[in-house]
Amino acid sequence: MGHPSVIIAAPSSGSGKTTVTLGLIRAFCDRGVNISSAKIGPDYIDPRFHEIAGNRRCINLDSWSMREHLFEKLVLECEPRSDLFIIEGVMGLFDGAAERGAFGNGSTASVAKKLQASVILVVDAKSQAQSVAALVKGFRDHDPGLHLAGIILNRVGSDRHAQLIKEALDKENIFIFGFIPQCKKLELASRYLGLVQAHELKDIDKHIDGIAKIIDDHIDLNAIRKVATSHTVTRQALSSGIKPFGQHISIANDAAFSFIYPHILESWRESGAEITTFSPLEDETPDPNSDAVYLPGGYPELYAEQLAHNINFFNSLRIAAGQNKFIFGECGGYMVLGDYLIDQSGTQHEMAGLLPLTTSFENKKLSLGYRTATTV
């Protein structure tokens, strides 16, 4: 059992795979094809763009941090709802953790092999021509267990540029799905954790429409459907093992706190937990009837001054702590539980004071990657 799947990968970050993925999702939807989508890795931002492009929930798939049965459950849930499953990769095709995790190293390649899905490589052709053939040949031959169906060339400068690349790729028997011209309006704004969040971008739906038009004009969509392969997940998977934090969980949810996986909320609801939300930015407080408070990640550092003046929000956290309610702060949520948050300008802002720590963004030093933590 399964449904046709294709993975959009790249040799490295910044090659254009998110832009191509969004364009493909919208272009296929415009043709009446029912699309489901996924993002590989622990990414909270790109899936929201997928959801706008396809008007459907996007899932995360992670071979390092997810239990295999949860991975399979999420994939299986997509089957009844779509004709084509488009999966966006992470970083470069083979990039992942140094050591194996749950059932893989978190790389795009590990997910492709798990699903036996066809891989399409998005290659940034700017500043190179025939060398593209050597690059792609290396990716194709690096792991014989992968099925590299072909490539999409991005940022192609001219017809002559395209012809030079095609002649070199033809010699290596590498299929080309299309050439995307260099075009400034295809670009999406970014910051240190990736793209700027979808809700911050004006006219993002119109922007995706423009991307889809270019994709439809320059990519062979019929060929992509033909190479899509049915994945090999066949058994009915068990539900998520993540237990609810409480019977009634009050969750911070606004522009500063938005990093949460939808499948976690769904599993909590399936377990019978009640979920309510509140906005710290609006100086709202957790539901007083809740027995757990969840502060997810996001960008509180961008709103530190506003948050520092929201007395009701912080007092409610202190009261909840005094009542021994379960309070879970994750990433940005963890930062606001500390004493102070220092923004990029060096200004110090008072936070909840529930944990003896100060977080600073004054000096940029950000390392992204998988980490194993041990409780002490």
Question: Do 129 and 152 form a contact (C-beta atoms < 8 A)?
Answer: no
pLDDT at residue 191 is higher than 60: no
Question: Do 325 and 279 form a contact (C-beta atoms < 8 A)?
Answer: no
Residue 313 to residue 183: CA distance in whole angstroms: 45
Residue 323 to residue 339: CA distance in whole angstroms: 20
Q: In degrees, to the nearest 5, what angle opens at C-alpha 191 toward C-alphas 185 and 196?
A: 60
C-alpha distance from residue 298 to each of 66, 163, 240, 295, 334 (Å): 21, 44, 23, 9, 10
Q: What is the pLDDT of residues 93-112, one digit of tens each?
A: 999 998 888 788 999 999 99
Question: Do 7 and 53 form a contact (C-beta atoms < 8 A)?
Answer: no
Listed in sequence order, the residues at least 6 apart from 158 whose beta carbon sits closer than 8 Å to its beta carbon are none
236: which DSSP letter? P
For residues 306-330, give the mean pLDDT: 98
User: What pLDDT, on the 0 to 100 scale, is given for residue 184?
Assistant: 78
Q: What is the pLDDT of residues 77-86, one digit of tens each?
A: 887 778 999 9
Element (H, E) at 196: none
294 φ, ψ (degrees, to nearest 5): -120, 120
Active site residue 331: yes
User: What pLDDT, on the 0 to 100 scale, is given for residue 266?
Assistant: 92
pLDDT at residue 241 is higher than 70: no
C-alpha distance from residue 255 to each of 46, 280, 281, 302, 307 (Å): 15, 9, 8, 10, 12
User: What pLDDT, on the 0 to 100 scale, is given for residue 199?
Assistant: 67
For residues 19-31, give the mean pLDDT: 97
Report the C-alpha dihedral over residues 171, 176, 181, 185, rounded to 10 degrees. Answer: -150
Half-sphere exposure of 254 (CA within 13 A, CB side): 15
User: What pLDDT, on the 0 to 100 scale, is given for residue 242?
Assistant: 80
| Residue written as token pair 């606004």 | 254
240 φ, ψ (degrees, to nearest 5): -60, 145
pLDDT > 70: what percent of the chain?
A: 93
Sign of CA dihedral 371, 376, 321, 247: positive
The domains located in the chain, with CATH, are 4-230 (3.40.50.300), 248-360 (3.40.50.880)
pLDDT at residue 240 is higher than 60: no
Question: Do 89 and 8 form a contact (C-beta atoms < 8 A)?
Answer: yes
Residue 163 to residue 260: CA distance in whole angstroms: 45
Q: What is the pLDDT of residues 46-70, one digit of tens each?
A: 999 999 999 999 999 999 999 898 9
Report which residue type is found at 34. N
For residues 221-231, give the mean pLDDT: 93
- Predicted confidence band of residue 376 (pLDDT cuts 50, 70, 90): confident
Residue 232 to residue 111: CA distance in whole angstroms: 11
- Predicted confidence band of residue 195 (pLDDT cuts 50, 70, 90): low
Lowest-confidence pick of 135-139, 181-185, 317-321, 340-344 = 181-185
Residue 18 to residue 35: CA distance in whole angstroms: 16
For residues 284-306, give the mean pLDDT: 97
Listed in sequence order, the residues at least 6 apart from 367 whose beta carbon sits closer than 8 Å to its beta carbon are none
pLDDT at residue 339 is higher than 60: yes
pLDDT at residue 164 is higher than 90: yes
pLDDT at residue 200 is higher than 70: no
Among candidate residues 29, 58, 78, 331, the one labeled active-site is 331
Q: What secondary structure does DSSP assign to 277-319, as a single string?
A: EE-GGGT----TT-SEEEE-EE-GGGGHHHHHT-HHHHHHHHH
Residue 211 to residue 217: CA distance in whole angstroms: 10
When the pLDDT of each residue in the chain is averaged and rounded to a whole number, the result is 92
Burial of 129 (0-12, 13-18, 19+ CB in 10 A): middle
Of 231, 284, 268, 192, the C-alpha closest to 71 is: 231
User: What pLDDT, on the 0 to 100 scale, is given for residue 372?
Assistant: 86
- Predicted confidence band of residue 236 (pLDDT cuts 50, 70, 90): low
For residues 209-220, give the mean pLDDT: 97
pLDDT at residue 171 is higher than 90: yes
| Residue written as token pair 């992968």 | 146
Of 328, 330, 254, 320, the C-alpha closest to 287 is: 320
43 or 364: which carries more pLDDT confidence? 43
> Between 131-142 and 159-171, two packed helices, what is the crossing angle to 10 degrees?
40
